[in-house]
Structure 1
């Protein structure tokens, strides 16, 4: 993994208030969800989630709730009290996945201890048991299948099993962004995949999705993963290459920059992926529209891949927006 801020040059702007990496600052309508989860009030949380109008929003919300420490305590009670409801079991399972992954850490396997792996796998098996039941009872339930992509990866069940799970989900929800992001990770070499598979899947997502979908951002995420895997020097040269630039341009034009794009909760992450990728290659004029959309709304991923994410975002945004004076080619 590279340790430099490749391509993120320029003087920081005078704005001292941004960016914010807090999803609740960036999407204030999520605040009641967090409040209910932190209070451990299941009826209120259940009502918040029941009021969401898309499966994409539900998957986003499930992931955010699962990232709140301690929610497993009241979710265990909710799951026991409502055994036929897929929601509390799925929330609890994803929380178990997050607990396990926190123990494992984001380090490469050679830097994870045997005890960490044991605890990690124990938590993922607990999650998997819940998710198997949910998916058997509710085969079209996207949040559960998405979580099972995470357990498949962590338990090292292999490429074929991960793809089987994704196919089961995509039969009901063919362009589910959260599931696509999870499978993309599985297809990378660090999880026994290949770059051919990762880039191929990303382009397949971008091409198959309706114009204006967020799925085009998978192309940016795949290139960012490739950049992370290269040695210092090679990584910068890769992102500056015209083939990568043009691949990113094409994907952006059919997705978040397409006239049919309707911003949703995933749009912030998708624009950040493009902004980050273009910035790594010093393709400032193409990063500019993404930063213009974002303003101060940054996302933890992928900016956490650089040592000082706030400074990197500010410097990159400044360079990108200043490039607009020269116009776009």
Structure 2
């Protein structure tokens, strides 16, 4: 018997609505309370949870003056400098937008690079003083891509992260982006990396979703460069279906999976989106049941301009059929 479906409501795209502790963290940032921010990070032992918490801080409007002050007051503490770097990265990418490079102006690239260079200076110092500090190495994967430092440098940074945090899912998703053709990689390498990291991770870990993300990336690329029919044909091929089903069974659909972890939420969304786009609504249903209302902006932005509407539309179909 399948688990009962939780009550369905509006999709919750903001992670602070999934995890109340993150709402308290955002409130601390808005209040300019550096001690409360440190206290919020203290119990976070999972590095993917810390990466998410950092993104909540970075996404808080007008927080940069507070973060600069906090970093200046505690120059030996890697957290404030990393949080400031994350904010600079966020602002830089907002200037660039998420359009393909050919649709980004020289002025937008200049704004992106200026912010990323500031972030790099902060993160280089953090990594030199704290070589095991996962958050800084994770953020340096993002700056490497934005500054167009190449796949080799991105791999080097990922390897430094993986030395002490071999299953850092957030870091792996960043390197996977670098390995895609849009950032100078190729599909064979991207899919091989996703498959390898999915198998290397413990059972129940979210890393299996890398397989789904890689397929979604190629789907989007085919839809843009050829047409939607070619993209859907690719996704519906038996070998693609088998690969993603096996990855899901080993990760978020495995009995050992953590249902309360944000990265499990992100992984379920990736699997649900992939199956939905491929027309496999029955196979998307278990992921939607696990999610309830917990949506994420990525990858639903790949499915529709309105993230929430895409999630709701496909959830309705999947739960009706599966």
Bin for the TM-score computed over the shorter chain: over 0.9
- How far, CA to CA, are the matches of 2:8 and 2:291 in structure 1? 16
> What's the TM-score once normalised by structure 1's chain length?
0.91
- Residue 247 (structure 1) aligned to one of 243, 246, 251: 243
Task: Quote the RMSD (CA, aligned, Å).
Answer: 1.3
The alpha-carbon deviation at position 265 of structure 1 amounts to: 1.7
Aligned equivalent of 1:323:
321
Q: Indicate yes or no: 2:123 matched with 1:131.
A: yes
- Residue 184 (structure 1) aligned to one of 176, 180, 192: 176
The alpha-carbon deviation at position 47 of structure 1 amounts to: 1.0
Worse-matched range after superposition: 112-121 or 143-152: 112-121
- How far, CA to CA, are the matches of 1:110 and 1:307 in structure 2? 19
Report if the CA contact (8 A) 1:245-1:283 is conserved. no
- Residue 277 (structure 1) aligned to one of 255, 264, 274: 274
Worse-matched range after superposition: 287-296 or 240-249: 240-249
The alpha-carbon deviation at position 150 of structure 1 amounts to: 0.4
The alpha-carbon deviation at position 291 of structure 1 amounts to: 0.5
Q: Which runs of 4+ in 1 moved over 4 A?
A: none
Alignment of 1:25-174 (within 5 A): 25-174=17-166
The alpha-carbon deviation at position 218 of structure 1 amounts to: 0.5
- How far, CA to CA, are the matches of 1:54 and 1:240 in structure 2? 35
- Residue 265 (structure 2) aligned to one of 265, 268, 276: 268
- How far, CA to CA, are the matches of 1:92 and 1:309 in structure 2? 28
**Tell me, what secondary structure is at the counterpart of 1:218?**
helix
- How far, CA to CA, are the matches of 2:309 and 2:98 in structure 1? 22
Corresponding residue pairs, total: 310
- Residue 188 (structure 2) aligned to one of 187, 191, 196: 196
- How far, CA to CA, are the matches of 2:122 and 2:135 in structure 1? 12
Q: Indicate yes or no: 2:223 matched with 1:226.
A: no
Report if the CA contact (8 A) 2:127-2:133 is conserved. yes
The alpha-carbon deviation at position 241 of structure 1 amounts to: 2.0
**Tell me, what secondary structure is at the counterpart of 1:171?**
helix
Report if the CA contact (8 A) 2:86-2:139 is conserved. yes
The alpha-carbon deviation at position 16 of structure 1 amounts to: 8.4
**Tell me, what secondary structure is at the counterpart of 2:90?**
helix
Aligned equivalent of 1:312:
310
The alpha-carbon deviation at position 182 of structure 1 amounts to: 0.5
- How far, CA to CA, are the matches of 1:56 and 1:313 in structure 2? 24
Structure 2: which 5+ residue stretches go unaligned?
A: 1-6
Aligned equivalent of 2:286:
289
- Post-superposition Cα deviations, 1:267-308, rounded to whole Å, max 9, x if no partner, equal 111100000000011111211110010111111111122123
Structure 1: which 5+ residue stretches go unaligned?
A: 1-14, 325-329
The alpha-carbon deviation at position 86 of structure 1 amounts to: 0.2
Worse-matched range after superposition: 217-226 or 230-239: 230-239
- Post-superposition Cα deviations, 1:146-195, rounded to whole Å, max 9, x if no partner, equal 00000100001010100000000100000001100110111000000111
Q: Could you say which structure has the greater relative contact order, defined with CA pairs below 8 angstroms and 6 or more residues apart?
A: 1
- How far, CA to CA, are the matches of 1:308 and 1:66 in structure 2? 23
Aligned equivalent of 1:327:
none
Report if the CA contact (8 A) 1:198-1:222 is conserved. yes
> What's the TM-score once normalised by structure 2's chain length?
0.93
- Post-superposition Cα deviations, 1:61-85, rounded to whole Å, max 9, x if no partner, equal 0112111121111110111111100
**Tell me, what secondary structure is at the counterpart of 1:106?**
coil
Q: Indicate yes or no: 2:232 matched with 1:236.
A: yes
